[in-house]
Structure 1
Amino acid sequence: MISIKPLRLTRSYALFFGFLFMLLSACGNKTEKEKEDEKSESETEVVEEDNSVILFFGDSLTAGYGLDQGEAFPEIIQEKIDSLNLNYKVVNAGLSGETTSGGKNRIDWVLKQNVDIFVLELGANDGLRGIPLQETRNNLQEIIDFVREENPEIKIILAGMQIPPNMGQDYTSGFRNIFPELAEKNEVELIPFLLEDVAGNPELNQTDGIHPTAEGQEILADNVWIVLKDMLEK
């Protein structure tokens, strides 16, 4: 049975999540044109035919909200891959403010290209908005199912997330358990908590208290790399 460390709600964590709830809407209030521009930049990238593709599908954490180009963790992963001379191309399909429902609606678009490894990082915005747990679980399951229907040989990594107990202990623990349970059910790899060692640390987050700084994104990349490296070596 896959286990995950419970979130310790320190003062720093409480401050982090307080800011997170306040600014969640700001991440999701982009115009449709801005969203389409982001799609065109991240989802229609041309990938060399001789490269295998790793696609990161997520929200503002994946998109690198507030940072310069190249500072988000998927781009840092690309640097790690290049340093090892591995034949993989990273595609960043992160979209700020994305929910699991929104991700389910656009997954067919991002899979127009061939993808070898699919990293699914969605759910945090669901939890902060109090979306019913079963709805979040179902949406993530449908995304996984769709990806596998498109390519049965694809390798999938699911990024785990946690939320504060604002919605009650039952909701908080139920939300946390969605990710290891789906990983076990679908036999996919799990990143237990993407924001491990970053959430709640003001030195590793931007002034909004939510989004990791470039240094924080380096730690996110390390959290992902622990799982991804083994997959690439295999």
Structure 2
Amino acid sequence: MAKRIIILFLITTCSIFADTKVLFIGDSLTEGYGIAKEKAYPYLLRDILEKKYSKKIEVINGSVSGSTTASGASRLKWFLRSKPEVLILALGANDGLRGIDLTSSKKNLAAIISMAKSKDMKVILAGMYMPPNYGRDYTKKFRDMFVELKKEYSVTLIPFLLEGVAAKKALNLSDGIHPNELGHKKMAENLLPYFRSL
């Protein structure tokens, strides 16, 4: 009986304190453009999760300013060497801003998702919206692209990464595009509900 209790204790302890590696593949919004690295939302989210769940979270931030879905797909393999268990995929904004063919963007995102799922990773896809000046048709197709990927690949979708942050002067840098420290705090809070099953 005592031996069984010890084994159960060890299993429980390992589960609670085991490291969880979370890989972020994104652009300047996830890299933390214009602010200190540790103030970017991936690291703020880590701090919240570690405190909430008493679990060690290792953040691998593979985000680079200016990244498109194509450049993100090309560098994913390198980061998979670290054997992360969770992927936060936050790409597409630069594709949209550059008017890249959405068929190509969707194909690249699908390739990233497929590669991650082949490694048994949980995938959380962060959606984005395009400004209305890009036209009703393009903005709708852009938004729908993320919904289609969610359905086709059974991934978790965050409808809009910048929910409650976009267009709010107090939460963005002077460029009006990139979140400031307060904006990144709000983004981390936005993502928290999607990690309940971590």
TM-score tier after normalising by the smaller chain length: 0.7 to 0.9
* 1:66-85 aligned within 5 A: 66-84=34-52, 85=54
Counterpart residue identity of residue 198, structure 1: V
Cross-structure match for 1:105: 74
Q: What's the % identity of the aligned pairs? A: 43
**Per the alignment, in what secondary structure is the counterpart of residue 124 of structure 2?**
strand
**Per the alignment, in what secondary structure is the counterpart of residue 94 of structure 1?**
coil
Q: Does 1:136 align with 2:105?
A: yes
Contact 2:42 2:59 in 1 (8 A): yes
**Per the alignment, in what secondary structure is the counterpart of residue 37 of structure 2?**
coil
Cross-structure match for 2:3: none
* 1:1-234 aligned within 5 A: 50-84=18-52, 85-149=54-118, 151=119, 153-228=120-195, 230-232=196-198
Contact 2:92 2:105 in 1 (8 A): yes
Deviation per CA, 1:35-81: give whole Å up to 9, x if none: xxxxxxxxxxxxxxx51211111111110000012100000011112
Runs (5+) with no aligned partner, structure 1: 1-49
Q: Following the alignment from structure 1 to structure 2, what is the Cα–Cα distance between the partners of residues 54 and 207?
A: 30
Q: How many pairs were matched up?
A: 181
Q: Following the alignment from structure 1 to structure 2, what is the Cα–Cα distance between the partners of residues 91 and 132?
A: 29
Cross-structure match for 1:24: none
Deviation per CA, 1:17-52: give whole Å up to 9, x if none: xxxxxxxxxxxxxxxxxxxxxxxxxxxxxxxxx512
Q: Following the alignment from structure 1 to structure 2, what is the Cα–Cα distance between the partners of residues 179 and 69?
A: 27
Q: Following the alignment from structure 2 to structure 1, what is the Cα–Cα distance between the partners of residues 78 and 58?
A: 18
User: 1:206 Cα deviation (Å)?
Assistant: 0.4
Q: Following the alignment from structure 1 to structure 2, what is the Cα–Cα distance between the partners of residues 88 and 221?
A: 14
**Per the alignment, in what secondary structure is the counterpart of residue 60 of structure 2?**
strand
User: 1:223 Cα deviation (Å)?
Assistant: 1.1
TM-score, normalised via structure 2 length:
0.88
Q: Following the alignment from structure 1 to structure 2, what is the Cα–Cα distance between the partners of residues 80 and 91?
A: 16
User: 1:167 Cα deviation (Å)?
Assistant: 2.9
Runs (5+) with no aligned partner, structure 2: 1-17
Q: Following the alignment from structure 2 to structure 1, what is the Cα–Cα distance between the partners of residues 47 and 56?
A: 12
Q: CA RMSD in A?
A: 1.4
Q: Following the alignment from structure 2 to structure 1, what is the Cα–Cα distance between the partners of residues 169 and 187?
A: 15
- Runs of 4 or more off by more than 4 Å in structure 1? none
User: 1:146 Cα deviation (Å)?
Assistant: 1.5
Greater relative contact order (CA < 8 Å, ≥ 6 in sequence): 1
User: 1:184 Cα deviation (Å)?
Assistant: 1.4
Q: Following the alignment from structure 1 to structure 2, what is the Cα–Cα distance between the partners of residues 97 and 231?
A: 31
